Amino acid sequence: MKKYIFALCLLSSTAHADGDMTRIGSVHIDDAAQRTATVHIGCSSDPHGGALVVEIVVPDANTKKDFGYDDFEGPDSPAGKLSHIEWIAGAKTTSVTTAAAGSYIPDPPEAFQFEIAELAHRKSAPATLLAAVDGTAARLVWTQSSYDKSKRTLVATFDFDANSAAQLRDNVAACLPKAR
């Protein structure tokens, strides 16, 4: 299992064969001021090792110490299913609640990355979420609950206009499970 998760984490750091998209949005923790964040969504449809990845990057995490990031570090983190991610398009909302792995990353400096990643072509949390992308304007909202007793909540929000949603739909289509 560790090898499988490591391979997915490694894939998320490399170029994706089919397509990927990065969007700028915002993040805030409880009532703190908002700051910039990014979401990266990627697809590698290789039938023997491809992956579907959704990750957010929170800048200044290591310097601000405003959330229990350490509890989510690594594929074996104890945190559990504390990631609630929604794709909201008009009146339609698709959501998943799952466990995210995380790590401190060097770019941008002092940042932390939360990630959900699974093998391509399989039913999974990322596949369920991204199957809802239909090319209409939408918002992705990632709500990360803390593992510690602080009960802090990190909320990251990313807007997709119709063009970027259509591009995302096209980018991830090859990684989604085939309808039977």
pLDDT tens-digit series, residues 112-141: 999 999 999 999 999 999 999 999 999 999
pTM over 0.85: yes
pLDDT for the residue 2? 37
Q: Domain locations in the chain? A: 2-175
58-74 per-position pLDDT tens digit: 999 999 999 999 999 98
CB count in 10 Å sphere of residue 78: 9
CB count in 10 Å sphere of residue 163: 10
CB count in 10 Å sphere of residue 22: 12
